[in-house]
């Protein structure tokens, strides 16, 4: 039957899906398939027994046999009902497990990707694939099992009854089959392209929703409601139009089958009437044949429509496997080992780096960050400051050169051991859904409430937290929607403080703080950075003037470095940046 699915690519896709899913859920599928075979057998038996019913009513007229036949009919339908229940129950359980398993695997694969992957694939596309494609996998597997087991074996059983009871009449019905298959093949050719276009429209709906919720302030303040409404309506209309086209194509198989089936039944009635009236055939065998023919109509129609539905589902399955098979953009090397303990010396040895194949961001960089000291990175936008932090955390690998952590090349270390020794505060503060206590505690799982409170105090967040109605148990909303920018940034600082890591990375950590809070944070930072390697990026030079070393970057190179006072006297780029900030 798989031969009906012509493209070789579809063969491989179905075989892979079946192989991976059936192995894991063998018991559930075995029970479902066994139940379907029972259903198929009972359906054929219900057609076969019509011969005895008709003959006994018209010829035999033995009441005892009528009792036996009635009991047999009841038994057939009781067994069929129980088998149908077991089939539905186990198939649903297996289907739900497949959806959950696929969603876990897709998410784990996405999570394992490097940062460059997230920059190249829209989040709306990922969300749609995690939700829609897992459902598509279940639909395809359910369709394969029900069509190739229940419907196929039911049809084969009924055909066997037809052939045994009336071989000549069976030939009349079988003439219709090739015509129906040809008609459905013509419909199938249009389905795949329409389904792929519909998926893109679904992705666009998610994309517009994301932009609306995340950028609602911009949407409102710039009066962009009309634009966003137009984009959403256009995407929804595209999905609706394509869904209607697919529905029309799927519905088109029914009238084709109805018409052909009607012609077949009419021909059978005509021939069977002649056989009974003129040929001396018993009414029982004719009735059994007609019953089998009528019962065969539904599974035959489902099998005919199955290709259209299968092609629709395979679009989602194909996209799911494309995501699952996408190479990881950053992986641990074979034999990676955990970083050994050390003082926290970080060194860049002749490092060059460019995002994709663009202009180099870092050029043959040689730079050291002494352990237990605070190093500040300053310079114009695009000079490579944030890239240095990304390379330290191994969000990317350098194109050439090495990033060394206590003399160890971090590309040979396990990612967990590397990032476990780093605390990071970004200028783009991000909070997870949950309470304030939950968000701070993410810095170090298992930290006590007292430790969380101490970290909040060190970040000057405790007072505003206690002023909230539920204190540390206050819900922050989606990405901290219920908090101000400064409050969110202080919570992210508290999260980094709680981590108590060897290396502290601060990427514009005070950008959302007011002057008073920034002054308080500088005092806390002096204590926090004591004894640990601290690297801070700052555009406001007032936040880093106390650094042990200030590294001035420009166009991917170090153009000067030293302490604040020495750099001011030098009159170079640092002095110019400092003077710009003092201008009224």
pLDDT digits (tens, 9 = 90+) for 330-349: 888 888 899 888 888 999 99
Cα distance from N-terminal residue to C-terminal residue, the chain: 80
Q: What is the pLDDT of residue 400?
A: 93
pLDDT score of 67 more than 80: no
More reliable by pLDDT, 455 or 13 = 455
Q: What is the pLDDT of residue 366?
A: 94
More reliable by pLDDT, 57 or 51 = 51
pLDDT grade, residue 233 (50/70/90)?
confident
Q: Kindly give, in sequence order, each residue whose CB lies less than 8 Å from that of residue 477, ignoring residues fewer than 6 positions away.
A: 433, 483
Distance between CA atoms of residues 365 and 163, nearest Å: 83
More reliable by pLDDT, 107 or 224 = 107
DSSP 353-413: E-STTSS-SEEEEEEEE-TTSEEEEE-STTSSHHHHHHHHTTSS--SEEEEEETTEEGGGB
pLDDT grade, residue 1 (50/70/90)?
very low
Q: Kindly give, in sequence order, each residue whose CB lies less than 8 Å from that of residue 336, ignoring residues fewer than 6 positions away.
A: 412, 413, 414, 415
Distance between CA atoms of residues 125 and 110, nearest Å: 12
Q: Kindly give, in sequence order, each residue whose CB lies less than 8 Å from that of residue 302, ignoring residues fewer than 6 positions away.
A: 146, 147, 151
Digit-coded pLDDT (tens) for 264-284? 666 666 666 666 555 556 666
Digit-coded pLDDT (tens) for 170-186? 776 666 555 555 555 55
- Strands 400-405 and 346-353, by their bridges, are antiparallel
More reliable by pLDDT, 61 or 384 = 384
Least confident interval from 86-95, 270-279, 381-390, 485-494: 270-279
Q: What is residue 341's DSSP assignment?
A: P
Highest mean pLDDT among 52-56, 277-281, 425-429, 511-515: 425-429
In 391-483 the beta strands, taken as DSSP E runs, fall at 400-405, 408-409, 422-425
pLDDT score of 320 more than 70: yes
pLDDT score of 190 more than 70: no
Ordered structural domains, the chain, with CATH: 2-324 (1.20.1560.10), 346-582 (3.40.50.300)
Burial class of residue 534, CB neighbours in 10 A (0-12, 13-18, 19+): buried
Q: What is the pLDDT of residue 163?
A: 82
Digit-coded pLDDT (tens) for 406-436? 999 999 999 889 988 888 888 777 888 889 9
Neighbours of 297 (CB within 10 A): 19
pLDDT grade, residue 6 (50/70/90)?
very low
pLDDT grade, residue 466 (50/70/90)?
very high
Whole-number percent of the chain with pLDDT over 70: 80
pLDDT score of 61 more than 80: no
pLDDT score of 147 more than 50: yes
Q: How far is CA 533 from each of CA 344, 451, 548, 549, rounded to the nearest angstrom?
A: 6, 21, 11, 12
pLDDT score of 450 more than 50: yes
More reliable by pLDDT, 167 or 157 = 157
DSSP 492-510: HHHHHHHH--SEEEEESTT
Give the residue-averaged pLDDT of 64-76.
80
Least confident interval from 138-147, 172-181, 229-238: 172-181
Least confident interval from 52-56, 73-77, 441-445: 52-56
Q: How far is CA 2 from each of CA 10, 155, 187, 313, 395, rounded to the nearest angstrom?
A: 10, 16, 18, 15, 45
Digit-coded pLDDT (tens) for 78-111? 898 898 899 888 888 888 888 888 888 888 888 8
Whole-number percent of the chain with pLDDT over 90: 15
Q: What is the pLDDT of residue 202?
A: 67
Q: What is the pLDDT of residue 345?
A: 92
512, 480 Cβ separation under 8 angstroms: no
pLDDT score of 405 more than 90: yes
Helix-then-strand count for the chain, H and E: 22, 10
Highest mean pLDDT among 45-49, 209-213, 451-455: 451-455
Give the residue-averaged pLDDT of 118-145.
79
Q: What is the pLDDT of residue 538?
A: 80
Longest dimension (CA), the chain: 120
More reliable by pLDDT, 62 or 505 = 505
Mean pLDDT (the chain) is: 79
DSSP, collapsed to helix, strand or coil, labels residue 436 as: helix
pLDDT grade, residue 222 (50/70/90)?
low
Q: What is the pLDDT of residue 388?
A: 94
Neighbours of 235 (CB within 10 A): 20
pLDDT grade, residue 2 (50/70/90)?
very low
pLDDT grade, residue 3 (50/70/90)?
very low
Give the residue-averaged pLDDT of 57-75.
74
pLDDT score of 402 more than 90: yes
């Amino acid at each position: 039957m798989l031969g009906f699915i012509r493209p070789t690519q579809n063969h491989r896709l179905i075989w892979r899906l079946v192989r991976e899913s059936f192995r894991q859920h063998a018991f559930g599928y075995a029970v479902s398939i066994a139940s379907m075979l029972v259903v198929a057998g009972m359906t054929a038996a219900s057609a076969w027994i019509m011969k005895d019913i008709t003959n006994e009513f018209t010829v035999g007229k033995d009441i005892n046999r009528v009792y036996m036949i009635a009991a047999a009919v009841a038994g057939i339908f009781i067994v069929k009902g129980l088998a149908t229940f077991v089939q539905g129950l186990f198939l649903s359980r297996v289907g739900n497990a497949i959806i959950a398993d696929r969603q876990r695997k897709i998410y784990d694969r996405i999570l394992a990707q490097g940062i460059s992957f997230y920059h190249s694939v829209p989040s709306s596309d990922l969300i749609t694939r995690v939700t829609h494609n897992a459902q598509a996998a279940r639909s395809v597997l359910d369709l394969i099992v029900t069509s190739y087991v229940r419907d196929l074996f039911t049809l084969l059983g009924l055909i066997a009854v037809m052939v045994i009871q009336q071989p000549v009449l069976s030939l009349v019905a079988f003439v219709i089959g090739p015509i129906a298959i040809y008609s459905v093949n013509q419909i199938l050719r249009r389905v795949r392209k329409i389904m792929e276009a519909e998926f893109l429209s679904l992705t666009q709906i998610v994309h517009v929703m994301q932009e609306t919720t995340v950028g609602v302030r911009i949407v409102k303040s710039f009066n962009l409601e009309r634009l966003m409404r137009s984009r959403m309506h256009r995407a929804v209309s595209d999905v609706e139009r394509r869904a209607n086209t697919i529905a029309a194509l799927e519905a088109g198989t029914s009238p084709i089958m109805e018409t052909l089936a009607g012609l077949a039944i009419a021909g059978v009635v005509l021939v069977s009437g002649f056989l009974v009236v003129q040929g001396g055939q018993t009414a029982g065998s004719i009735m059994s044949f007609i019953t089998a023919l009528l019962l065969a109509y539904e599974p035959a129609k489902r099998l005919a429509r199955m290709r259209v539905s299968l092609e629709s589902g395979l679009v989602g399955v194909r996209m799911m496997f494309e995501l699952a098979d996408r190479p990881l953009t950053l992986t641990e090397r074979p034999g990676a080992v955990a970083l050994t303990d050390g003082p926290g010396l970080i060194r860049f040895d002749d490092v060059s780096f460019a995002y994709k194949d663009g202009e180099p961001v870092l050029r043959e960089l040689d730079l050291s960050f002494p352990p237990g000291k605070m190093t500040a990175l300053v310079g114009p936008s695009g000079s490579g400051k944030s890239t240095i932090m990304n390379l330290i955390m191994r969000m990317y690998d350098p194109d050439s050169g090495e990033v060394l952590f206590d003399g160890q090349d971090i590309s040979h270390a396990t990612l967990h051991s590397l990032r476990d020794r780093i605390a990071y505060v970004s200028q783009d503060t991000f909070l997870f859904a949950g309470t304030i206590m939950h968000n701070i505690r993410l810095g170090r799982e298992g930290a006590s409430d007292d430790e969380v409170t101490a970290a909040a105090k060190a970040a000057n967040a405790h007072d505003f937290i206690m002023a909230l109605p539920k204190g540390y148990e206050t819900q922050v909303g989606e990405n901290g929607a219920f908090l101000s920018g400064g409050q969110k940034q202080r919570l992210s600082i508290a999260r980094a403080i709680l981590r108590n890591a060897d290396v502290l990375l601060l990427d514009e950590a005070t950008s959302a703080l007011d002057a008073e809070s920034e002054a308080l944070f500088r005092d806390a930072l002096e204590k926090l950075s004591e004894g640990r390697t601290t690297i801070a990026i700052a555009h406001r030079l007032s936040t880093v003037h106390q650094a042990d070393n200030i590294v001035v970057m420009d166009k991917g190179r170090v153009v000067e470095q030293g302490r604040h006072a020495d750099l001011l006297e030098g009159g170079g780029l640092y002095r110019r940046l400092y003077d710009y900030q003092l201008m009224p």
